[in-house]
Amino acid sequence: MPTASPQDERFAALADAYFTQALQLNPVEATAAGLHDYDAQLGDFSPAGFAQRVALDRDTLAKLQSIDPSALSPGVALDATLLSDRINDDLLTNVTLSRWRHDPDGYVREAVDAILGLTGRDYAPLRTRFGYAIARERQIPAMLSDAQSNLVSVDAVTRDIASEDAGGAAELFRTELPQAFAAVKDVALQRQFALANAAAVKAMAGYARWIEARKPGGTFAIGPDAYRKRLIYEDALNLPLDRYLAYGTSALARTRARFVAVAKQIDPKATPLQVYLSITKARPARSASLAQAAGDLAKLRSFVIAKHVVTLPPGATVAVVEAPAFGLASDGVSEDSPGPLESVATQSYLRLTPAYLADFDDAGFSIVAAREVYPGRFTNLAIDRGLDLSLTRKLSASSEFAEGWAQYAVQTILEEGWGKGDPRVRLVQLDAALLRECRYVAGVKLHTAGMTIAQARRLFADECFQAPQVAQQEALRGTQDPMYGSATLGTLMILKLRADYKKKLGAAFTLEKFHDELLSRGDPPIPLLRPFVLGADDDGRPL
C-alpha cells in the first residue's frame, strides 16, 4: 500500500477530529453507529447545544477548504467531498432551514431512537443497557422542555403528525418499554426505571398536548432552492429540478404500464389493485412463518451464488427472528445490521413483527427478503464491513446508494430468473417499484411545486395503485421527508452506470464483476463513484 501523502494525512486527522466531536455531540447517532461511549447521554438540545454543532461544522468546513483537493489521492479526495457535503447539508438543515425551530417531531424521534438503540443489540449485558436507558429517560423531560422553548412556528401538517407521534411515543414507553427490561431482576434498578419512565411518559404526553394546542404557521415545503441543494449535498447531483422530476415521471410511467400488463395477465377482468390484493391472500400458519422465511432466505442465497449475481462475503449470516415487543411501531419486516463501528454485537437480523407474520404472503415475501437480505441491503452492508474503509466512508453512507442498491437488487434477480416467470412475483416487485417511484415524484412536487396532500394521495392511489390507507400515509410521509424518492434515484443511477460499464468492458462484462466493483468502495453517492468504476469512460451523466 502506498504511503499516504502529507495532505492525505492532514485530511484524515481533520476528519477523525470532526467525527470524534460530532458523535460526542450526538450521542444517539453514536449509539446507532456502534460507538457506545455516550450511551448514558441524550445530548444538549438547548440553543447553545445547536450552536455548538453549528460551530463545529463551520470550523471544520473552513479547515477543509484550506486543503488543496488536487494534492489529495483520488480516494481521499472522494472522502473530502463526502465530508464537505455532509457538513453543508447539516448547515442547510440547522441554519438555513432551522428545522430544530420548526419540527417538533424531530425531538420525538430522538427520544424514541435513544431508547430503541439500547434494546435491539446485546453489545453489553442487559443490566448495563438498562442503566443507560434509565439515564437517558431522565433527560427526556429536559429535552422536551428545550423543544418547547426552541419551536417558533410549526405548519399544520407537521403539527398534527408530531402530536400523534408524541402521543404514540408516550404509549410506547408506558406499555412496551418495561417489557424490554423485565428480565433485569435488580429491585433498585427497576424502581429507578419506574420513576424515570413515568416522568418521561408524563413529559411526552404533555408535549403531545402542547403541540396539538399550537396555532399553526408556515409550510412543510422546503422550497426549490433547498431541494436543489439537498440533491447536491446528499446525492452529488447538480440538476435542474424540472429535469430531475422528468426522470422520475418517466420511470413511473414505464413501471405503471408494466404493472397494468402483468395484472391483466393474471386476471383481465379485475382492476390492477384488485389483482395485487388477491395474490397476497395465500399465507402459511403463523407458527410456520419464521421457518419459511429462513427457508426462503436460504433459497435466495443459493440463487445469488448459482447465478453469479454478486460475490457474497464468507461467514456473513442473517438470523430470522420475531421482533421484540418494544418497537412494534416500526415496519413489519426490517433488516437490522450492526452499525459501522460496532465491534461486539455483530450479528445481523431479519426482524418480523407479529402483525407482519399474520399477513405473511407466499408471493411477496421473497421480494421483501431480496430487498432486505440477498442480494439487497444486508449483502451491501456485510460487504462494507469487510472493506478497509476510512472513518469518513463508514459514517457517510448515502441513502441514494444504499436504498438504490436494495431496490435495484430485487429487479436484478427477477431479470436473472428468480420466480421462474411467475407473474404474481413480478407484480409484487413492480408494486414495490411503483411505490418508490411515486415517492420520487411526490417528494419533488410537495416541496417545490405546491402539490397538496390530497393531490399526493391521488397520485399514489391512481398512478401507483396503492390502497387508500397506504396512499394517505405515503402522502403525509412526503411532507416530512422531501428526499424519500432516494431508492428510485439510486436505482436509475445504478442502471445507467451498469450500461456504461457494460459498454466499457464489452465481451468481458459480467453482472458479478460489475456488482463486485460497484460495492467495493462503501456507499458514496453514485455520481462520485462513477470515475472510479469507469475511469476515462465516465461521460459525466449519472442519469
Last residue of a domain, one of 213, 238, 271: 213
Instruction: Give the C-alpha distances (Å, rounded to integers) separating 503 from 71, 309, 518, 539.
Output: 31, 19, 15, 12
d(CA 524, CA 536) in angstroms, rounded, equals 19
**pLDDT at residue 290, as a whole number:** 81
d(CA 200, CA 58) in angstroms, rounded, equals 34
* 256 and 115 housed in the same domain: no
d(CA 92, CA 105) in angstroms, rounded, equals 18
Which cell numbers hold the place of 304?
Answer: 445469488
One-letter amino acid for residue 57 of the chain: D
Q: Which residues of 214-248 are buried (b: 16+ CB within 10 A; e: fewer)?
A: beeeebbbbeeebbbbbbbbbbbbebebeebbebb
Q: Is 498 part of a structural domain of the chain?
A: no
Question: By residue range, what is the domain housing residue 351?
Answer: 227-487
Which cell numbers hold the place of 316?
Answer: 456473513
Phi-psi region of 542 (alpha: psi -120 to 50; beta: other; left: phi over 0): alpha
383-410 pLDDT, tens digit each: 999 999 999 999 999 999 999 999 999 9
Q: Rounded to two decimals, what is the model's pTM?
A: 0.96
* 166 and 251 housed in the same domain: no
Average pLDDT for the chain: 94
* 234 and 191 housed in the same domain: no
Q: Is 522 part of a structural domain of the chain?
A: no
Phi-psi region of 266 (alpha: psi -120 to 50; beta: other; left: phi over 0): alpha
The alpha carbon torsion through 226, 207, 23, 316 (nearest 10 deg) reads -90
Q: Is 4 a residue whose pLDDT tops 80?
A: no
Tell me the torsion sign for CA atoms 70, 74, 78, 83.
Answer: negative
Instruction: Give the C-alpha distances (Å, rounded to integers) separating 131 from 39, 109, 136, 202, 217.
Output: 9, 21, 9, 20, 40
| 133 sits in which H/E element | helix 126-150
Residues 435, 474 contacting (CB under 8 angstroms): yes
Half-sphere exposure of 217 (CA within 13 A, CB side): 7
Last residue of a domain, one of 182, 213, 244: 213
Q: Is 24 a residue whose pLDDT tops 70?
A: yes
d(CA 416, CA 507) in angstroms, rounded, equals 18
146-170 pLDDT, tens digit each: 999 999 999 999 999 999 999 999 9
Q: Is 218 part of a structural domain of the chain?
A: no
Q: Is 525 part of a structural domain of the chain?
A: no
Q: Is 44 part of a structural domain of the chain?
A: yes
**Structural domains in the chain (count):** 2
Q: Is 329 a residue whose pLDDT tops 50?
A: no
| 541 sits in which H/E element | none
Last residue of a domain, one of 451, 467, 487: 487
Q: Is 11 a residue whose pLDDT tops 70?
A: yes
* % of the chain beyond a pLDDT of 70: 95
Q: Is 334 a residue whose pLDDT tops 90?
A: no
* % of the chain beyond a pLDDT of 90: 89
* 325 and 389 housed in the same domain: yes
| 404 sits in which H/E element | helix 399-415
